[in-house]
Amino acid sequence: MISVEAALELILSEIKPLGMERVDILSSLGRVLGEDIAASVDNPPWDNSAMDGYAVRAIDTRGASRNNPVILKVIEDLPAGYVARKAMKKGEAIRIMTGAPMPEGADAVVMVEETEKSEVRSQKSEVRIFRETKIGENVRKAGEDFKKGGTVLTKGATIRPAEIGLLAAVGKAHVPVYQRPRVAVLSTGDELVDIEETLASGAIRNSNGYTIAAQIKACGAAVFQLGIAGDNKKDLQEKLEFGLTADCIVSSGGVSVGDFDFVKDVLREMGSEMRFWKVAMKPGKPLAFGIIGGKPAFGLPGNPVSAMIAFEQFVRPALLKMMGKRDIFKRAFDALLTQSVKKKPGRMHFVRGALEQKQGQLYATPLEGQGSGILSSMAKANCLIMLSEDAKDIKENSKVKVQPLDESLLYQDKPGY
Ligand code: AMP
Ligand code: MG
């Protein structure tokens, strides 16, 4: 039996990122950036106004107040997208809109609320400035967002809406991203029937094929369904061989020590070097991993929760690494256990739990129904409470490490402020 850490390290040592492809900018959402992106321009390209108001020379506003305004001559009106035709001289101002380039000679902007415009004659106008301003006030400096030649995004970053905006700002209509792995999913077991088939006696519905496919999709990879294989070598081999056209194979069931658990044997006969097949964890102990035809193959346990948890711990980081992602491990949070948990040393436990925050402290509560076939408690859980391999019975209020399961931890029934 191999430890969770050693198994993960061994798996990841065999995984290499896939190649690159170019996709249009919006299709890159959620993908992993394949290259560093350098800025082709300064952003903003020039000093510009952060406010609607008047571009001024700060020195001309010295001493200005409500009771004692400074009067400046307005020489031009400047909307965003236009450049001032005139340079500003002493005693002059230019009406300026947010985002418009700073006129030559101006060094500050007074917001419109601190001014009053007065028409003098039809062509000429003046503005009263009610507040003294400093050099640089309400001016956004050229390059303050990013500078030409600088790296705006780095390879391995996951592309979110903010990254999409930056890509647009540097003129990237197409984006180099890592290819998504295509992952073959095989469910094994003579007892399995597909969703819409009738449940004859002794049969159960293939749920793993769907949970695992969903976990693959949730990682951002693509699913290739191989369906159900019976517990015989011929069927298993046929279906697994079909799976070799994918980038990775994930099966469930048939990896235990039962009389009909042939997945390991078949993988071996197909030329796979089995790296290990038992991991010191609960649930999820039977887990086979090997490489066939250069492709990683995971034989997950058949019990629905074991399969899910083994996927989260091993297959997810492997797929994320194939996708070139920089950070591939789930973050762990420290929480206090709200009730004691019985445990024997020897295996790392992943306990389905509910994580809550009260007065700034995280509390983890183990859920009812921890059997490895009880999928409904997995649906109620928002986290896995991780109890280390050598830990014994754990007392209430002990500090434990908790792994968030998915986005459910990010949402609640009321605003969080
Ligand atoms: P096995 O690892 O093949 O011995 O399966 C362990 C348990 O998981 C058995 O109760 C199986 O019926 C169940 N099981 C195996 N594969 C699936 C599946 N695809 N969907 C739901 N349950 C499964
Ligand atoms: Mg089976």
The minimum-distance atom of ligand 1 relative to the CA of 209 is: 19
311 assigned to some structural domain:
yes
Helix (H) or strand (E) holding 211: helix 208-218
Q: Ligand 1 centre from 192 Cα, in Å?
A: 8
- Residue 290 domain boundaries: 4-17+180-322
**Same domain for 214 and 311?**
yes
Question: Ligand nearest 374 Cα, by number?
Answer: 1
146 assigned to some structural domain:
no
Could you say which of 270, 300, 322 is where a domain stops? 322
For ion ligand 2, residues whose CB falls within 5 Å: 189, 253-254, 302
327 assigned to some structural domain:
no
**Same domain for 274 and 362?**
no
Q: What is the pLDDT of residue 120?
A: 65
**Same domain for 206 and 262?**
yes
Residue nearest to atom 17 of ligand 1 (CA): 302
Of 188, 197, 204, the one to substitute when testing ligand 1's pocket (max ligand atoms within 8 A of C-beta) is: 204
> Are residues 75 and 188 in contact, defined by beta-carbon separation less than 8 angstroms?
no
Q: Which residues are near ligand 1 (CB < 6 Å)? A: 187, 189, 191-192, 204, 206-209, 252-254, 256, 258, 301-304
Q: What is the pLDDT of residue 416?
A: 87
161 assigned to some structural domain:
yes
**Same domain for 269 and 352?**
no
**Same domain for 277 and 342?**
no
Q: Ligand 1 centre from 228 Cα, in Å?
A: 11
CATH of the domain at 228: 3.40.980.10
Q: What is the pLDDT of residue 379?
A: 97
Could you say which of 140, 164, 197 is where a domain stops? 140
Q: What is the pLDDT of residue 257?
A: 82
Question: Ligand nearest 251 Cα, by number?
Answer: 1
27 assigned to some structural domain:
yes
CATH of the domain at 170: 3.90.105.10
Q: What is the pLDDT of residue 258?
A: 82
Q: Ligand 2 centre from 383 Cα, in Å?
A: 27
415 assigned to some structural domain:
no
**Same domain for 115 and 31?**
no
Give the chain's domain count: 4
Backbone Cα Rg of the chain: 31
pTM of the full structure? 0.93
Q: Ligand 1 centre from 391 Cα, in Å?
A: 29
343 assigned to some structural domain:
yes
> Are residues 300 and 155 in contact, defined by beta-carbon separation less than 8 angstroms?
no
> Are residues 251 and 228 in contact, defined by beta-carbon separation less than 8 angstroms?
no
> Are residues 155 and 34 in contact, defined by beta-carbon separation less than 8 angstroms?
yes
Of 190, 208, 265, the one to substitute when testing ligand 1's pocket (max ligand atoms within 8 A of C-beta) is: 208
φ, ψ for residue 318, nearest 5 deg: -65, -45
Q: What angle do CA 304, 305, 311 make, to 5 degrees?
A: 95
Distance between CA atoms of 18 and 15, rounded to whole angstroms? 9
**Same domain for 186 and 314?**
yes
DSSP E strands: which ranges in 266-391?
Answer: 273-278, 281-282, 286-292, 295-300, 333-337, 348-358, 361-366, 383-387
Q: Ligand 2 centre from 258 Cα, in Å?
A: 8
**Same domain for 88 and 167?**
no
**Same domain for 52 and 11?**
no
Helix (H) or strand (E) holding 209: helix 208-218
**Same domain for 192 and 304?**
yes
Q: What is the pLDDT of residue 122?
A: 57
147 assigned to some structural domain:
no
How many beta carbons lie within 10 A of that of residue 126, not counting itself? 14
**Same domain for 33 and 171?**
yes
Could you say which of 277, 302, 322 is where a domain stops? 322
**Same domain for 299 and 191?**
yes
User: Which is nearest to 318 in space by CA: 5, 8, 1?
Assistant: 8
Per run of 10 residues, the mean pLDDT along the chain (length 417 residues) is 95 97 98 97 96 98 97 94 95 97 98 89 83 98 97 97 97 98 98 95 97 97 98 96 96 88 90 83 92 93 97 98 97 97 97 96 98 97 98 98 93 91
End-to-end CA distance of the chain: 47
Q: Ligand 2 centre from 260 Cα, in Å?
A: 7
Q: What is the pLDDT of residue 69?
A: 97
Q: Ligand 2 centre from 197 Cα, in Å?
A: 19
